[in-house]
Amino acid sequence: MSEASSDAVIEERIYTIPFSKVVYGRRIPRPRRTPRAIRHLRAFVRRHLRCDAVIIDPEVNEFMWARGIQHPPRKIRIRAVKTEDDIVTVYLG
């Protein structure tokens, strides 16, 4: 586990976030699908871990953008680590 900060870990959770209803279920234009999925990922983590800031690991970002802007993944499994500073870092789970 390579964390950028040396703060103590308060919580660590694993989630599976579905994007199917948010991105594919509505009439979302194709060129806006992956950015919308990333916004949904941030909102999901904020809502479930009650934090101020969310940092997305570059590996998660590359996974989201692997198939381009039009075809984000249907779901993603992540590991969210919350530190004392109320900052959550999202890794691939």
CB-based contacts of 78, cutoff 8 Å, min separation 6? 14, 15, 16, 17, 41, 45, 60, 90, 91, 92, 93
Percentage, residues of the chain above pLDDT 70: 94
The confidence score (pLDDT) of residue 16 equals: 97
**Domain layout of the chain by residue ranges:** 14-92
| CATH-assigned architecture of domain 14-92 | Roll (3.10)
The confidence score (pLDDT) of residue 2 equals: 54
Percentage, residues of the chain above pLDDT 90: 83
pTM value is 0.87
List pLDDT tens digits, range 43-86: 999 999 999 899 999 999 999 999 999 999 999 999 999 999 99
